[in-house]
Chains A and B, each alone.
Chain A
């Protein structure tokens, strides 16, 4: 559907993006994450053809952006960070203009506009001047503009920024719905949003893709060791040494030292030597030793942890005076 190959946008006096490389297949909803100034908007602008890349190539549906600008642009719907609206026009007049501009066939325009207005809950506001709409409704008109020509690929730049929580949920539901028929690339810095709607995450930092994974695989992608939280019925030290004897286990740590002595159960954090799943091994070992496992839970990093980890490591090294970020990072790992 979309192929971004080694795309760079270089500037003389500020950081652009370097060698961005990813592809999207039909039907995916990809969350594009990164701190402010990481290059999300620049990348999206290159995909939509607003900016030309300095190097690299972008292809939509196998058609190169550079060779077929008009054909590829027809396939893309784009909602920039600020919805591109003409405040003087009415919603209806605006959408009519968009329909003409985007080659929606004349006889389909009426139906298409009515459909889009219905889909975005803009009924009753057709004749209202865009200037007089609330921010949430302006955002909807912006979205309407992006989907009116039924594009295959939707590029949404921070579609929920500046909205109130209720509006955010509404827009999110809308995007999820759109994801059923469109391929969506959306940028955001609201992390739960990604977990809520995306089936793939791209994290970009300082102009480079630093992570490209499914939300559920994030932990292993980070090169984390496999971690287990265990609650076992049995003597603490004995359980611990039994676990440590397993060849795949690197470390078994008691969670609450003080109560361990007299308590019947023991809580442990078990770390594997690598990323392999050690759950079965642990189960059989405990079963053999006769210590029942009461609880076993795989530890995974939250998106926040990963985001902070990926996006603060470099700056933390180059800019030492940022205790805040470091705090977050540690807190995230402990949790």
Chain B
């Protein structure tokens, strides 16, 4: 546990030493405030509703999650510090979970940052509380699952750019599952495909309905990609 915490702390420190993180944060704040402005100020009469904004904000994750996660493992390879980690008493699970916990913390920060918008809206009327909190839960779950995918992509290459692009493509494909499902004309196939959609799962939560299977979907997705990352690292020993 202490080893995992050590990796976690170090990784969180690294997030804030890296200029990329600041760029990602800036892009996030800028874009989400533009979305907020468009939805709440520009389109009159304004409604006290957070849902449109949440949907748009999660779209930004598609771009900033790869930026935030691309150095997670790739940088270790580049600096040769993977030799340090892999020869330490820490297990791969501890290392990967430590890194992921740091990424999830950053995700939490992103979500907390965008609480400013409902705060502003609440000055002008009453927000539907379950919708608000579950929407934000969905934002966190989605983002955290995406971070796991980013972490996995980062473990594939020593080059940050390559990791970032791989992460982006993986996320994009999952994102487009919705559209693919849309173009399939009905039937079981459509139902099956929709099951794997990243954002269709958010719909329930954003309606204020807490459904265990939706939460489980994101948790499982994250766990799956963390497991894959551990496998990729384990394979390095057998090179």
**Closest residue to B16 on the A side, CB-wise?**
A88
- B46 close to chain A: CB less than 8 A: no
Q: Chain A 92-135, CB within 8 Å of chain B: the 1/0 string?
A: 01000110111100100000000000000000000000000000
Chain A proximity of B232: nearest CB distance (Å): 15
- B80 close to chain A: CB less than 8 A: yes
**Closest residue to B238 on the A side, CB-wise?**
A52
Interface residues on A, range: 20 to 34
- A145 close to chain B: CB less than 8 A: yes
Question: Chain A residues near B2 (CB, 8 Å)?
Answer: 100, 103, 106
- B86 close to chain A: CB less than 8 A: yes
Chain B proximity of A28: nearest CB distance (Å): 21
Interface members, chain A 23-62 (any B CB < 8 Å): 45, 48-52
Q: Chain A 201-233, CB within 8 Å of chain B: the 1/0 string?
A: 000000000000000000000000000000000
Contact present for B87 and A101 (CB under 8 Å): no
Contact present for A88 and B17 (CB under 8 Å): yes
A52, A76, A89, A93: the one within 8 Å of B87 (CB): A76
Q: Which of A77-85, A273-281, A313-321 contacts B (4 or more CB under 8 A)?
A: A77-85
What is the total number of residues of chain B having a CB less than 8 Å from a CB of chain A? 27
In the docked arrangement, what's the CA distance between A103 and B90, Å? Answer: 9
Q: Which of B3-11, B169-177, B220-228 contacts A (4 or more CB under 8 A)?
A: B3-11
**Closest residue to B17 on the A side, CB-wise?**
A88
Chain A proximity of B108: nearest CB distance (Å): 22
Question: Chain A residues near B82 (CB, 8 Å)?
Answer: 84
Contact present for A74 and B80 (CB under 8 Å): no
Question: Chain A residues near B89 (CB, 8 Å)?
Answer: 70-71, 73-74, 101-103
Question: Chain B residues near A80 (CB, 8 Å)?
Answer: 80, 83-84
In the docked arrangement, what's the CA distance between A74 and B88, Å? Answer: 7
B6, B18, B79, B83: the one within 8 Å of A97 (CB): B6
Interface of B toward A, CB cutoff 8 Å: 2-3, 5-7, 9-10, 13-14, 17-18, 79-91, 237-239
Interface of A toward B, CB cutoff 8 Å: 45, 48-52, 70-71, 73-74, 76, 78, 80-89, 93, 97-98, 100-103, 106, 145
CB<8 Å pairs between A and B, sample of 18: A45-B83, A48-B87, A51-B238, A84-B80, A86-B81, A88-B13, A88-B14, A88-B17, A88-B18, A89-B13, A97-B9, A97-B10, A100-B9, A101-B3, A101-B6, A101-B84, A103-B2, A103-B3
